[in-house]
Structures are given as structure tokens and as C-alpha cells.
Structure 1
């Protein structure tokens, strides 16, 4: 019996000593038998909304992606056509070595503005009396504006879209993906250059009603 116990003890001791010979792996990519993956982080350089005149060359302000301490290549889609006016969403996609991806976006406006609108500056705060909330227009290029809260909604103050003034006092929100991710545009637009100026439009967005909205410049 003593001999049996001795053999069992020797076997256990051998197993412990054998296990102790295997080092625990600990690197940036692995701890023990667990593998670590770092999701890509994308940094978009410059403004999130940029404008380029029709027919001009678009130079992307740049984007960088990394996963952990390693740089990750970025794929940009779609290819931008600067010969066609419109509001485009560029999507930047970075994929790490394990196949996990992250994305970021930039809005690019390709525009054509007539001489009779190029000198206009429609920037400012426009109050919607129905809600007591304002839409804020900011000019970023000739005839191109970023509009915050285009619906003049109490709950939509962070929503932004691009509006254009291509000629005279014609205004519109071209079809685009708004900052809330929904495809949006306007219809039934008018801008009356009085003192104060007044504009009206129907803001088409899935989370908004379809009534005509009136705004007065403050």
C-alpha cells in the first residue's frame, strides 16, 4: 500500500513539474490561450462636411486608422464624381487582421452656383414661430450652407443637413443622408428676401411631419 501511495505521489509531482515548464504566453496579441483583437479606430482629418466646385479636383483632407499600435489600411467608397452636382457620403472602412471592421464618413458637396447667388450670404438664425425654435444657417462655400435643425423642431436641434442656393434666391435641401442617418430632402421651397427674410419648405425626413414650415430671419 505504501508503495502504491508513493507511486501516486510521484505521478502527481511529475505532472506539476511538467506543467510548470510551460510558460504563460503574454503578448500584445495573446494572453495565455486567449487571443486579443483590437478593433480599428478611424480618425477623420478636417471637417466632416466639405464642398468642392463642379469640375474641380477633390483632395481628401485625409483619414487614419489603427488597431492597437498597428496602422490599418483604409478603403474609401464610392469614387467621387465632381462633374455631377450632389451631396455625397464618403465611407471610410478599416479592417483589422482578424477581419473586424470599423467605418467613418464624410459628406462632400459638389456644387454649381450662378453669379446672381454667389454674392449672397444667407447665414444666420431663422426662427420658426410654430415651435419657438430656430434653424441655424452657416455658409461653407458659394451657395452652400450647413443647416442645423432644418425642421425647426424642439427635439431636432442637433440634426444637420446641407442646403444650397444655386441661383437667385432659390434654395433647397438636395437628397442626402442627414446627420441622423436618414435620407432627407426638401420640397415646396421659397425664400423671400425681405427685411427680415422669410423662407419656407417641407422637410422630408422619416421622423418629421410633412407640413410646410415657415422661418423668419432674426
Structure 2
């Protein structure tokens, strides 16, 4: 929602500049309204392998009027993994806005695993990551890259889909950055972990495998 308000502001600002610079277009301005989405249910969801997934409703409006939505993506509940469904709407001026929902298809064998806790990166800034379990196989970390000072701009959702595999789909975080991970895994200790590792996919984070050890 904040993004749409920002875009609206810049559109109005640009229109005002145009009017002030050209006397021939005085008293003429153009405002474009970007589609605003409302999503029922959670943006990040889980379903067990073999179960049925039913997508919750998503609607979009442009200046209060309903907008047509195009949906791309599907969920294969026979195969563990994370699936993305993207919803897009285009306004009358041709500008398209999209939102996504992420569905983790989880092997029931990881139901009792709990990776929650505090971990410290073994290199770089030695930043601390706080991992919170939100549901079966579904977690957040407030420090995806192990930076010195974590926060909303480094907070992502990730999934333990099967075995010791960790997956985080490409997702926008606070501040507009986009993160995902590759080669994610953890070292099990009972129903928890002694450490986890992954490669952060984001400009500026490099390609090194980042390892976090439990504190």
C-alpha cells in the first residue's frame, strides 16, 4: 500500500512540474492511479505433500473501481518445494503492478523440526540471525546475510521443505530490496540444528556460502 501512495505522489509531482514549465498546458494535469491489491489469507503459506491447495481470493482496484487480474503460477502438491503465484493488474494508462503469494509444499517428516533460535555468521561482520518458526517447515530470519545490524530490510521467509533442505523464494523486503537463497541446508541435531548455510541472492552480497552457527 505504501508503494502505491509513493507512486501516486510522484505522478502528481511530475504533473505539477509539467504545468509550471509550459504555459500552453496551464491548468492541465494528468494523474495515474495504480492498482491496489487486497489478498485474503497469508502471503506465505504451507501445505503438506499430497494435500490439496486452494488459492485464496485476491482482488485489485483502480481508483476504487475493480481491476482485472492476471494470475501466473501453480502449485504441485506432489513435489516438495516452494511455489510462487503472481497476480498482476494493469491500469488504464498501461502501468502494471504485481503481488505474489508463496506456498511451501512441505514433507510431513519435517513437521516436528524446529530451527528456532539465534545463530551467528562465521565470517564477515559476524552478524547474529534470529530464526522464528511460524508453522510446519516455515520460518523467518531477521538477518538473511549475517550483516552487523539486522532489521526489516534483511528479514525474509524461508522453508524447510524436506530433509535438511532450506528454500527461500525471491521476495521483496522492507525498503524495496529483493532476496532469495540458493544451496540452503542445515546440520541436524535431534529435531533442531547446530548450523545452517546458504548463498544469498541479492546484488552486493556476492556468491559466497554463508554459514551460521547456533549460539
What TM-score, normalized to structure 1?
A: 0.66
Residue of structure 2 aligned with 1:72, choices 51, 61, 67: 67
1:142, CA displacement in angstroms?
2.2
- Tell me if 1:88 matches 2:83: yes
Give the equivalent residue in structure 1 for 2:146.
Answer: 152
Contact 1:123–1:136 under 8 Å retained in 2: yes
Looking at structure 1, the residues matched to 54 and 149 of structure 2 have their Cα atoms a distance apart, in angstroms, of 35
Give the unaligned 5+ runs of structure 2.
Answer: 1-26
Give the unaligned 5+ runs of structure 1.
Answer: 1-31
Residue of structure 2 aligned with 1:185, choices 174, 182, 185: 182
Give the equivalent residue in structure 1 for 2:115.
Answer: 122
SS at structure 1 position matched to 2:115? coil
1:192, CA displacement in angstroms?
4.7
Contact 1:112–1:166 under 8 Å retained in 2: yes
Contact 1:176–1:185 under 8 Å retained in 2: no
1:177, CA displacement in angstroms?
1.5
- Tell me if 1:52 matches 2:71: no
- Tell me if 1:113 matches 2:108: yes
Residue of structure 2 aligned with 1:213, choices 186, 189, 210: 210
SS at structure 1 position matched to 2:178? coil
After superposing the two structures, state which structure 1 stretch, 202-211 or 68-77, moved more: 202-211
1:67-121, Cα deviation, whole Å (9 max, x unpaired): 112111222211322222211221111123454321111221112131xx32222
Give the equivalent residue in structure 1 for 2:99.
Answer: 104
What TM-score, normalized to structure 2?
A: 0.67
Looking at structure 2, the residues matched to 213 and 34 of structure 1 have their Cα atoms a distance apart, in angstroms, of 51
Looking at structure 2, the residues matched to 165 and 80 of structure 1 have their Cα atoms a distance apart, in angstroms, of 14
Residues 67 and 127 of structure 1, relative CA distance in 2, 3 Å threshold: same
Residues 175 and 33 of structure 1, relative CA distance in 2, 3 Å threshold: closer
Aligned residues: 180
